[in-house]
């Protein structure tokens, strides 16, 4: 722009000088020639001045361009610096977030470890509650009750098919019950498997001493049965044992005893007979000899009698038939259902 202005100024000066010389005429050729030379010199000076100014302008432009480049370079470097400075904090700020996540995971680990002690704390609770329940089981084991399935069972009794669940049935079945005595009755169905057996030393010469322990089933030539429901089914029942049975000729020869039959059942409805036989009588240890009616002899009349099955029987229910064998009373303390 400056170069153009200089050229226009020089051209203007040349033109004005030309018009001046034309007005004066050609009267003086030398002067005209001199003026022409002067004009040429002026024109050349103007052009050299214009060229100088143009050089100066181009130099100024180059300086301006270099300064602009220098100014752009810092700007770009500063921009890069700003980007690098801003990017670096952003990355560093993300790093703490990741490191803060790590503590969060470590905080969950204690929560899992806190659950681990909770499991052993439950084990003592179970053991502490279950043990007393087992120790408080309502079982009254008799002497030598190993393998006796009658312990813990329930049962009912009948005479000639009539069960003692009525008052008339009880009067017909038990000795002295009609008079209000329960010394030899079993109206609660507990005496035949309570594990209580009269020791021989407690019996006297008349065979007394069993009241409150023995059950006396009465009826001339009557047949009786006792039906047991065991606590659970068994498949290895091998024998039935009657404890402290009185069988003899004393006291009017009215005590007798014989096993008639044994049946088993799975449901208490369908019964199967199991063959067997009396396998032996063992005198009760310490039992006294009792005089017969005419005092001519004395004999021990208290026995443990075993009825042995031909083969092991299975079932949850056991029915046992017995009689007084033509006498009046069938008397004993206990019934055992055994696997040996």
Which residue did the predictor score with more confidence, 238 or 14?
238
Long-range contacts of 173-181 (CB under 8 A, 24+ apart): 173/217, 173/218, 173/219, 173/224, 174/215, 174/216, 174/217, 174/218, 175/216, 175/217, 175/218, 175/329, 175/331, 176/216
Q: What is the DSSP letter of 183?
A: T
Inter-CA distances, 194 with 22, 45, 140, 197, 243, Å: 168, 154, 7, 9, 12
Whole-model pTM: value is: 0.57
pLDDT recorded at residue 249? 73
pLDDT recorded at residue 167? 83
List pLDDT tens digits, range 164-188: 888 888 888 998 786 777 889 998 9
pLDDT band at 107 (very low <50, low <70, confident <90, very high): very low
Residue 111, pLDDT above cutoff 60: no
Q: Where are the beta strands (DSSP E) in 166-222?
A: 215-218
Which residue did the predictor score with more confidence, 239 or 35?
239
Cβ atoms of 261 and 267 closer than 8 Å: no
Residue range 247-276: mean pLDDT, rounded: 91
Which residue did the predictor score with more confidence, 266 or 105?
266
SS3 87: helix
Inter-CA distances, 47 with 4, 6, 41, Å: 11, 9, 10
- The domain made up of 154-338 has a fold known as Jelly Rolls (2.60.120)
Q: Where are the domains of the chain?
A: 2-90, 154-338
pLDDT recorded at residue 75? 37
List pLDDT tens digits, range 267-292: 999 999 999 999 989 999 999 998 87
Residue 52, pLDDT above cutoff 60: no
């Amino acid at each position: 722009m400056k170069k153009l202005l200089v050229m226009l100024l020089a051209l203007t000066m040349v033109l004005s000088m030309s018009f001046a010389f034309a007005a004066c005429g050609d009267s003086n050729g030398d002067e005209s020639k001199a003026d022409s030379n002067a004009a040429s010199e002026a024109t050349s000076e103007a052009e050299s001045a214009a060229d100088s100014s143009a050089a100066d302008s181009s130099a100024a432009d180059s300086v301006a361009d270099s300064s602009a480049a220098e100014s752009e370079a810092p700007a770009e470097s500063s921009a890069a610096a700003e980007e690098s400075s801003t990017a670096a904090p952003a990355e560093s700020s993300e790093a703490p977030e990741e490191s803060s996540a790590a503590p969060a995971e470590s905080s969950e680990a204690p929560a899992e470890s806190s659950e681990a002690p909770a499991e052993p704390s439950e084990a003592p609770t179970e053991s502490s509650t279950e043990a007393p329940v087992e120790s408080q089981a309502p079982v009254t084991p008799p002497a030598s009750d190993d393998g006796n399935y009658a312990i813990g069972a329930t049962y009912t009794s009948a005479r000639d098919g009539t069960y003692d669940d009525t008052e008339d049935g009880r009067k017909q079945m038990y000795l002295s019950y009609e008079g209000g005595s329960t010394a030899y009755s079993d109206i609660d169905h507990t005496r035949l498997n309570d594990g209580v057996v009269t020791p021989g030393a407690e019996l006297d010469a008349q065979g007394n001493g069993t009241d409150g322990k023995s059950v006396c089933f009465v009826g001339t030539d009557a047949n009786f049965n006792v039906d047991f429901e065991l606590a659970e089914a068994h498949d290895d029942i091998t024998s039935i044992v009657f404890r402290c049975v009185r069988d003899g000729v004393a006291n009017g020869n009215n005590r007798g005893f014989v096993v008639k039959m044994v049946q088993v059942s799975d449901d208490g409805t369908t019964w199967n007979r199991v063959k067997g036989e009396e396998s032996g009588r063992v005198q009760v240890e310490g039992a006294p000899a009792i005089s017969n009616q005419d005092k001519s002899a004395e004999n021990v009349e208290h026995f443990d009698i075993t009825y042995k099955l031909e083969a092991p029987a299975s079932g949850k229910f056991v029915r046992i038939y017995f009689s007084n064998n033509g006498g009046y009373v069938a008397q004993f303390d206990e019934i055992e259902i055994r696997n040996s």
